[in-house]
């Protein structure tokens, strides 16, 4: 089943692809030989810190179009402080143009040691790279992080990176977060559980039997979405809340 958030970079990638028609390789381009930075490279590196969003976006695009191994640490560092979503996504795209062997060490360090935005964006980038060598970094502490942004990024990364056979255990951990946060956070968690497919059902059934009405409603709504991924979250959660208020379990997946 396709991961629901895998389309979040579509706009960024389409923009990038218009400028990379001649770029080699299916995922990452061959790096240039290290040498004295040319004028375009210097402008791009300087442009990452420009006050104008359009300049930073163009700079990230340039560095992704012409990937150089010695740019990786700069790109990761900029991800940690970039305030604009589309620029961060372009920086992530630029990092995916490099081999995972080059990007993983810095990204994993950011996950372990970075501040909130650094951890969140590093996790997001790991989910886009999709290399399961990063799985050990997706700890229970990250999945249960107090910061919603970090937790959401960890959930997305987890369902991409989880090794075969470990989906039920992951679902059980994710299910402990049911009922948490506002609509954005609840939707993100539901999507993560839906992405795990049938492996999530035991955890969802257990959660739907808990006494906390908020948890029960979220579990029922997620089961509804698992059965019908095209159903909207808002109708699902509202119907689930109604059912819980009436003391029913009509939408539990059999």
What percentage of the chain has pLDDT greater than the value 90?
Answer: 71
Specify the pLDDT at position 54.
96
Q: Which fold has domain 1-23+41-161?
A: 1.25.10
Give tens-digit pLDDT for 59-117. 999 999 999 999 999 999 999 999 999 999 999 999 999 999 999 999 999 999 999 99
Give tens-digit pLDDT for 3-62. 545 454 455 555 555 544 444 333 555 454 445 568 888 999 999 999 999 999 999 999
DSSP alpha helix (H) spans, 176-232 = 183-195, 201-208, 213-227
| Half-sphere exposure (Cβ direction) of 108: Cα atoms closer than 13 Å | 15
Domain extent listing, the chain: 1-23+41-161, 168-249
Q: Give the C-alpha separation, 218 to 179, whole Å.
A: 6
pTM (2 decimals)? 0.81
Specify the pLDDT at position 253.
46
Percent of the chain as helix, strand, coil, to the nearest 5: 65, 0, 35
Per the CB < 8 A criterion, the answer to whether 189 and 166 are in contact is no
């Amino acid at each position: 089943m396709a991961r629901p958030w895998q389309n979040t970079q579509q706009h960024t990638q389409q923009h990038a692809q218009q400028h990379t028609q001649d770029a080699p390789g299916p995922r990452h381009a061959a790096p240039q030989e290290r040498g004295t930075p040319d004028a375009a490279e210097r402008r791009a590196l300087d442009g990452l810190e420009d006050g104008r969003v359009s300049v930073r976006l163009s700079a990230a695009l340039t560095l992704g179009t012409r990937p150089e191994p010695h740019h990786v640490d700069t790109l990761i560092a900029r991800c940690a402080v970039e305030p604009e979503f589309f620029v961060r996504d372009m920086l992530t795209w630029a990092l995916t143009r490099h081999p995972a062997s080059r990007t993983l060490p810095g990204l994993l360090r950011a996950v372990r040691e970075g501040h909130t935005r650094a951890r969140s964006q590093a996790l997001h980038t790991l989910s886009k790279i999709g290399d399961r060598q990063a799985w050990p970094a997706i700890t229970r502490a990250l999945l249960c992080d107090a910061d919603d942004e970090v937790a959401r990024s960890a959930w997305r990364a987890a369902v991409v990176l989880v090794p075969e056979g470990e989906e039920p255990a992951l679902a059980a951990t994710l299910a402990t977060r049911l009922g948490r946060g506002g609509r954005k956070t609840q939707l993100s968690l539901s999507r993560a559980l839906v992405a795990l497919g049938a492996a999530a059902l035991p955890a969802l059934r257990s959660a739907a039997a808990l006494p906390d009405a908020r948890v029960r409603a979220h579990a029922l709504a997620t089961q509804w979405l698992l059965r019908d991924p095209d159903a909207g979250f808002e109708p699902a959660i509202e119907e689930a809340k109604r059912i819980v208020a009436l003391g029913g379990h009509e939408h539990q997946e059999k």
